[in-house]
């Protein structure tokens, strides 16, 4: 694990611990965040911690053509009980994600500084939100980083009513042309939708550039 300086650089991901922790410190500037994502690295830390930077191996991803949509979800999508939009309420989505209750977590890693940083990325065209509406109320959504190379790095999602986050995820993927969705680390929820683990080396190949593994 490396302590970052003010210099805009990261250690190679091969230096990450077995849990995937690579570095601590640094900042959440647009430049550092973009360098991180393009290098297969993402920030993830509690609100009372310094910034922690991760590059786990294996990496949890979803190939869009392997998306699993259950029979019940297909029916929900056909019923059109929800309206799905993209980039209509980014700040509302990321704020709802920060407030969402997650079993086993006492706080949130989506701090005020994180919200400000990713909102800057959104204004610059790098971060996207997907909104799910019901009766004109925001009931679910997700946000993440679009690297412009066919990879979408999912960050977080929320649902205030049943299946709303799944509607966001499925609709977004089915109407996009990404070659890979980065889900970062394993969850049962995303595995049920078709996400799988791949070697970090394979993931970095999708990002392009030169890396050690």
User: Checking phi first, is residue 51 left (phi over 0); if not, alpha (psi -120 to 50) or beta?
Assistant: beta
Residues 41 and 97 in one domain: no
Q: Which residues face 137 on adjacent strands? A: 134
Q: How far apart, in whole angstroms, are the C-alpha atoms of residue 211 and residue 64?
A: 25
Query: Of 139-148, 183-192, 202-211, where does mean pLDDT reach its minimum?
Result: 202-211
Q: Looking at residue 46, what is its pLDDT?
A: 77
When pLDDT is averaged across residues 172-183 and rounded to a whole number, the result is 97
User: What are the DSSP E strand ranges found in the chain?
Assistant: 2-4, 21-25, 42-43, 52-54, 59-62, 83-86, 127-134, 137-146, 151-159, 180-184, 196-198
Residues 99 and 171 in one domain: yes
pLDDT in tens, 66-80: 999 999 999 999 999
Structure tokens of 92? 């509302």
Residues 52 and 104 in one domain: no
What is the percentage of the chain residues whose pLDDT exceeds 70? 93
Where does the pLDDT of residue 213 fall: very low under 50, low under 70, confident under 90, or very high at 90 and above?
Answer: very low
Residues 155 and 172 in one domain: yes
Give 186: exposed, middle or buried? Use CB within 10 Å, 0-12, 13-18, 19+: middle
Is 70 exceeded by the pLDDT of residue 181? Answer: yes
Assess if residue 94 is contained within a domain.
yes
What's the distance, Cα to Cα, between the start and end of the chain in Å? 15
Domain that holds residue 27: 2-58
Where does the pLDDT of residue 208 fall: very low under 50, low under 70, confident under 90, or very high at 90 and above?
Answer: confident
CATH of the domain at 10: 3.30.70.3550
Q: Are 145 and 152 in contact (CB under 8 A)?
A: yes
Structural domain total, the chain: 2
**Cα 61 to the center of its chain, rounded Å:** 10
Q: For the beta carbon of residue 199, count every other beta carbon within 10 angstroms.
A: 12
Q: Which residues touch 107 (CB under 8 Å, ≥6 apart)?
A: 46, 47, 48
Residues 65 and 156 in one domain: yes
Where does the pLDDT of residue 102 fall: very low under 50, low under 70, confident under 90, or very high at 90 and above?
Answer: low
Q: How far apart, in whole angstroms, are the C-alpha atoms of residue 210 and residue 46?
A: 31
Q: Looking at residue 100, what is its pLDDT?
A: 84
Residues 171 and 75 in one domain: yes
pLDDT in tens, 182-205: 999 999 999 999 999 999 999 999
Assess if residue 166 is contained within a domain.
yes
Averaged confidence pLDDT in the chain? 93
Q: Looking at residue 66, what is its pLDDT?
A: 98
Q: Looking at residue 107, what is its pLDDT?
A: 42
Assess if residue 39 is contained within a domain.
yes
What is the percentage of the chain residues whose pLDDT exceeds 90? 87
Where does the pLDDT of residue 103 fall: very low under 50, low under 70, confident under 90, or very high at 90 and above?
Answer: low
The vertex-149 CA angle with 210 and 12, nearest 5°, equals 30
Residues 171 and 93 in one domain: yes
pLDDT in tens, 27-85: 999 999 999 999 999 999 877 679 999 999 999 999 999 999 999 999 999 999 999 99
Residues 144 and 125 in one domain: yes
Residues 121 and 182 in one domain: yes
Q: Which residues touch 95 (CB under 8 Å, ≥6 apart)?
A: 115
Assess if residue 207 is contained within a domain.
no
Assess if residue 203 is contained within a domain.
no
CATH of the domain at 188: 3.40.630.70
Residues 83 and 176 in one domain: yes
């Amino acid at each position: 694990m490396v302590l970052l300086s003010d210099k805009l650089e990261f250690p190679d991901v091969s230096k990450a611990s077995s849990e995937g922790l690579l570095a601590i410190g640094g900042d959440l500037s647009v430049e550092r965040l973009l360098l991180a994502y393009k290098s297969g690295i993402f920030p993830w830390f509690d609100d009372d911690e310094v910034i922690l930077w991760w590059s786990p191996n294996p990496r949890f991803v979803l190939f869009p053509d392997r998306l699993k949509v259950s029979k019940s979800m297909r029916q929900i999508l056909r019923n059109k009980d929800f309206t799905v939009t993209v980039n209509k309420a980014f700040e509302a989505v990321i704020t709802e994600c920060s407030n969402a209750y997650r079993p086993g977590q006492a706080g949130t890693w989506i701090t005020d500084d994180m919200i400000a940083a990713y909102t800057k990325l959104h204004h610059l065209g790098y971060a996207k939100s997907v909104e799910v509406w019901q009766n004109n109320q925001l009931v679910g959504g997700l946000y993440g980083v679009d690297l412009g190379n066919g990879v979408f790095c999912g960050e977080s999602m929320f649902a205030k009513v049943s299946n709303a986050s799944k509607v966001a995820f499925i609709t977004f993927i089915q109407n996009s042309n990404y070659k890979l969705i980065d889900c970062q680390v394993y969850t049962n929820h995303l595995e049920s939708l078709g996400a799988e683990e791949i070697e970090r080396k394979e993931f970095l190949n999708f990002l392009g550039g030169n890396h050690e593994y």
